[in-house]
Amino acid sequence: MAHAFDTDTEAQGLIDYVDSSPTPFHACEQSAELLAAAGFTQVRETDPFPTEAGAHYLLRGGSLIAWDTRATHGVAGPAAGFRVVGAHTDSPNLRLKPHSDHVKAGWQMLAVEPYGGLILGSWLDRDLGLAGRVAVRSAGGTTTRLFHDRQPLLRVAQLAIHLDRSQNEGFTLNRQQHMVPLWGVGDEPGDIVGYLAEQVGVDREDVLGSDVMTHPTQPSARIGRRRELIAAPRLDNLATSYAGTRALVDATGGQASTGSAALAQVPVLVLFDHEEIGSTSERGAMSTLLPSVLERIVTAGGGSRDDYWRSLAATVIASGDMGHATHPNYAERHEPLHHIAVNAGPVLKVNTNLRYATDSVGAAAFRLACEQAGVPMQTFVTRSDLPCGSTVGPMTAALTGATTVDFGAATLSMHSARELCGAHDPAMYAGALSAFLAPTR
């Protein structure tokens, strides 16, 4: 059964989670640590799935999926449905190109490629660090190691106003030419491969590949007159990844001891990578990750293929992605009958053209979860004359055939290098998701 979440605890928990998660790989590592501390054990995809009841998680690159069968095992049968909370771990940023070292006009620079729909101007004149995953040579062939350099290393320098006095009237940034960060001074390129070798503790020749991303080094913080706001990078969508992880731990904590569930459904958390670029990858929402793991859970519990399809018919998925708070300086850009406020509870997201997967059945399930958690709920609709973004919701609905609802938490400056949300919302967010995973009706 869901419990109340403390506002200050969850606000600080989100800040710590975000600051420790500069990449999807680190976000999965952070969630895995929270789950492991709550008794979840890791399962590797190459190993047989456990047939006994238990709480487990699985990692596939920058994606994670976790589940707990302790409450339903031997009670609901192998065709028990699932209660799934889905989110994504990736955020728009600048990522290093394979050959990034170069020199221009006496500056050592690193070539980058913008990832996702980032607000380019928000990355200018910020102190940036590097983090990511490095593939290295090992006795068994290759292995991967994560690194997170919190030191300010890079800067994408803005052009001085004296050299372009029209900047304040609007300017265009060329992704190839104007977004290249500086990382030193000299006539010879810096050695990024040597730097990566130092970061992961191997010889230079043992670096075989890397996925390296930039991140702002300014720590997340509570701001505002009453510290009622959180300013942080990557709130879209690490705020949901954190809330979902906390919710799964909370929703399953009581079930482990009671051995029964209010409804006979298996709680699941899935955190996908690559949502910001379309989700079509081996670990995105369009991959086999969620369907294959759900099927393996069913079959490991003694179920058949038919039991798997029966379980999907009894499944409800909640797809979480941050939502747009009404911007006071641009209120006309929002649907006038659906204004959204921070610190006012989770946001149900609806779109007739199915950019969000919500229908009335899914909406009812989420509304009941908010009622159970004792938190308010808001409803978001995009203006009819503006395009609507999308989420992992429609994809997971199509791949599983399960009832799906889209939701989020209110945010300003989405896709900026530094976003803004309410400090009271993380606790309400986690509470609603915990109730969704362990419904009492």
Distance CA 365, CA 369 (A): 6
Inter-residue contact 242 to 232 (CB < 8 Å) = no
Domain harbouring 81, CATH code: 3.40.630.10
**31, pLDDT greater than 60:** yes
| Residue 108 placed within a domain | yes
Tokens 């300014």 belong to which residue? 218
Distance CA 417, CA 410 (A): 17
| Residue 80 placed within a domain | yes
Inter-residue contact 214 to 95 (CB < 8 Å) = yes
| Residue 84 placed within a domain | yes
Examine the domain organization and report whether 195 and 241 are in the same domain: no
**126, pLDDT greater than 80:** yes
Number of domains in the chain: 2
| Residue 226 placed within a domain | no
Tell me the pLDDT band of 73, cut-offs 50, 70 and 90: low
pLDDT of residue 80: 86
pLDDT of residue 261: 44
**255, pLDDT greater than 60:** no
Examine the domain organization and report whether 409 and 356 are in the same domain: yes
Domain harbouring 158, CATH code: 2.30.250.10
The CA distances from residue 104 to 96, 187, 260, 266, in Å, are 17, 8, 65, 56
Inter-residue contact 69 to 301 (CB < 8 Å) = yes
Examine the domain organization and report whether 99 and 171 are in the same domain: yes
**pTM for the whole structure:** 0.96
**1, pLDDT greater than 70:** no
Examine the domain organization and report whether 307 and 431 are in the same domain: yes
Mean pLDDT of the chain: 94
Examine the domain organization and report whether 65 and 138 are in the same domain: no
Inter-residue contact 64 to 270 (CB < 8 Å) = yes
pLDDT of residue 415: 97
Q: Which two tokens stand for residue 293?
A: 């793991």
pLDDT in tens, 52-62: 999 999 999 99
pLDDT of residue 308: 96
Number of neighbours of residue 345 by Cβ within 10 angstroms: 23
How big is the chain by its Cα radius of gyration, in Å? Answer: 22
pLDDT of residue 171: 82
pLDDT of residue 229: 98
| Residue 228 placed within a domain | no
Of the residues 191, 217, 243, the one at which a domain ends = 217
| Residue 274 placed within a domain | yes
**What amino acid occupies position 110?**
L
pLDDT of residue 71: 82
pLDDT in tens, 169-196: 888 999 999 999 999 999 999 999 999 9
**What amino acid occupies position 352?**
T
pLDDT of residue 79: 80
Examine the domain organization and report whether 306 and 398 are in the same domain: yes
Tell me the pLDDT band of 100, cut-offs 50, 70 and 90: very high
Examine the domain organization and report whether 244 and 197 are in the same domain: no
pLDDT of residue 74: 63
Lowest mean pLDDT among 3-7, 237-241, 302-306: 3-7
Tell me the pLDDT band of 244, cut-offs 50, 70 and 90: very high
Examine the domain organization and report whether 14 and 146 are in the same domain: no
Examine the domain organization and report whether 63 and 115 are in the same domain: no
Examine the domain organization and report whether 208 and 354 are in the same domain: no
Distance CA 260, CA 255 (A): 6
Sheet holding 128-138, edge to edge: 141-154, 128-138, 207-216, 93-104, 107-115, 182-185
Of the residues 217, 252, 274, the one at which a domain ends = 217
Examine the domain organization and report whether 239 and 190 are in the same domain: no
* Residue closest to 2 by CA, chosen among 347, 269, 361, 375: 375
Examine the domain organization and report whether 263 and 160 are in the same domain: no
pLDDT of residue 433: 98
pLDDT of residue 256: 40
Beta bridge partners of 319: 86, 406
pLDDT of residue 254: 52
pLDDT of residue 300: 95
pLDDT in tens, 328-371: 999 999 999 999 999 999 999 999 999 999 999 999 999 999 99
Tell me the pLDDT band of 222, cut-offs 50, 70 and 90: very high
Lowest mean pLDDT among 259-268, 279-288, 372-381: 259-268
Inter-residue contact 231 to 152 (CB < 8 Å) = no
Distance CA 54, CA 173 (A): 51
Q: Name the more confident of 349 and 262.
A: 349
pLDDT in tens, 428-440: 999 999 999 999 8
Domain that holds residue 63: 7-91+233-437
| Residue 227 placed within a domain | no
Tell me the pLDDT band of 257, cut-offs 50, 70 and 90: very low
| Residue 370 placed within a domain | yes
Of the residues 217, 250, 284, the one at which a domain ends = 217
pLDDT of residue 258: 40
Tell me the average pLDDT across 283-290: 97
* Residue closest to 152 by CA, chosen among 68, 218, 99: 218
